[in-house]
Structure 1
Amino acid sequence: YAYTLRVNEKSDTYSFGVVILELVTGRLPNDPEFGEKDLVKWVYSTVDKKGVDHVIDSKLDSCFKDEISMLLNVGIICTSPLPINRPSMRRVVTMLQEIGIGNRVVAENKGNTYPYYYEEEASA
């Protein structure tokens, strides 16, 4: 949108990808630590130089590291610099469902509705 001033599915996909990156990293899109970069460029650069572990929010439950890494990958794909390389939102939904399938079994076995839930944060 910033470059074309037009809203379309690919700009929506990009925006959704930024939200995913915010959730996975625990950072705001304009964190001062990024300097001249934004969240997307920081994630690309840090993953490339240091690896996935350096961008994932340490507050997230490490037992779901594989799923969180897959979610990070969805965010990266959604924020591709070239709009033609971004998936449709229908495809994004499918990717998210595929990530969640394994967790549904774990949650059902434990009697939980969600794979994990931070009760202390919810009551704050």
Structure 2
Amino acid sequence: MEIVKQMNVPAEFFYKKIIDSVMYDVQEATGQTLKEKQLIGFEYIKKFNEKTSAKIKIEELITDQLYIYRTSTTRNDFTATYQIRSIDEKSCEIQYVEKMDSHGMIQSLNDMVTGVLLSFFKKRQFKQMLAMIEQSY
């Protein structure tokens, strides 16, 4: 999945919103309060419910430009990349790319079918999140 959108917020503002969300997620999952520089390479387990959890690893951060993280489950690995490009002092362009690697052929087929069905809803939900970030500025 890939989404490219011009945002009416500065790159610094968008990046800070994303990092604040990451730090909140880390705090909720681990009880640790980290500084931004401590996030690079940080791994933690996030529980979604009693039976489902995933390992999350923050792979790369470049202030106001890039955020990459990986979510690993027993079935798949998801890599999400936020690339932020400043246009001017009041706007930026966001490129969000999500890639999924499935473990096993049957899981790959299952993910391909469900991915087609769910991609519309995921894109719509992501665009709504971007709109909420813009509105909060």
Q: TM-score, normalised by structure 2?
A: 0.27
What TM-score results when the alignment is normalised by the length of structure 1? Answer: 0.28
Q: Which structure is higher in strand share?
A: 2
